[in-house]
Amino acid sequence: MTGVLTSGVFAVGVLLTITNLGGIVASAFGLCGYWPPGERNWAYYTHWGISHALNAVMLALTVLDWNSLGLPRGPSLIVGAVVFVAGYGVAIASGLDLGVEETKGLAGELRTGGWYRYSRNPQYVGYLVATVGFAVLTNSTLVAVVCAIYMGWWLALPFAEEPWLRERYGEDYERYAERVPRFLGRETLRALVDRDTAAASGSGT
């Protein structure tokens, strides 16, 4: 009975992740306007409905398939927890920096400072790290499979958003995209070094 339940929950998790990923990829190729929705419409409620449902599914799958992957329990628990908390912390902090409405894919202001000085998508970088951490933390084979598909969301979302951002913000976004990497890059390191240099100069005067 437990095996049937676990398989069913796993199947729902895969279906949810693939459904959202399909909509995001289709948007990236210009086949539909699933993401970003820009307003509270069918795409908005569908995307976030799937996202919230997936959170519940992942919690259930964690309980049902806990520790099935076979990683050393102690190290995987500690490393996974540290990586998850670090990644999730970055995602939440940069989301608050961007704003609640913009984080939900709704129209707002172009944010180029704060966390967005180092990456055009610091939330997605954080969520990528957190997703890996969660898979290691749960030490679950089935959770790891769903997380692998889930990571496709974070990798595909910027490609779906960028045409919309270019249309909405025009030259301002183009100039921003030229100097700040999509995820992380040499420009990220350079911006961090410049920040530290400026901070050191300020403290020395």
Is a pLDDT exceeding 70 seen at residue 202?
no
Per-residue pLDDT at 118: 95
Is a pLDDT exceeding 60 seen at residue 7?
yes
pLDDT tens-digit readout, 132-186: 999 999 999 999 999 999 999 999 999 999 999 999 999 999 999 999 999 998 8
- CA-to-CA distance for 90 and 126, rounded, in angstroms? 5
DSSP string, 40-67: SSHHHHHHHHHHHHHHHHHHHHHHHSTT
- CA-to-CA distance for 27 and 37, rounded, in angstroms? 10
SS3 of residue 105 by DSSP: coil
CA–CA distances in Å: residue 91 to residues 9, 31, 142: 26, 28, 24
Mean pLDDT of 111-129: 95
Per-residue pLDDT at 198: 54
- CA-to-CA distance for 84 and 132, rounded, in angstroms? 7
Of residues 59 and 204, which shows the higher confidence score? Answer: 59
State the angle between helix axes of 122-138 and 141-169 in degrees (0 to 180), rounded to the nearest 10. Answer: 170
pLDDT tens-digit readout, 65-92: 999 999 999 999 999 999 999 999 999 9
- The label of the residue with tokens 């998850």 reads 84
H-type helices in the chain, by residue range? Answer: 2-28, 42-64, 73-98, 100-103, 122-138, 141-169, 171-179, 186-203
Per-residue pLDDT at 107: 85
- CA-to-CA distance for 133 and 85, rounded, in angstroms? 8
Residue 139 structure tokens: 């030490």
pLDDT tens-digit readout, 8-63: 999 999 999 999 999 999 999 999 999 999 999 999 999 999 999 999 999 999 99
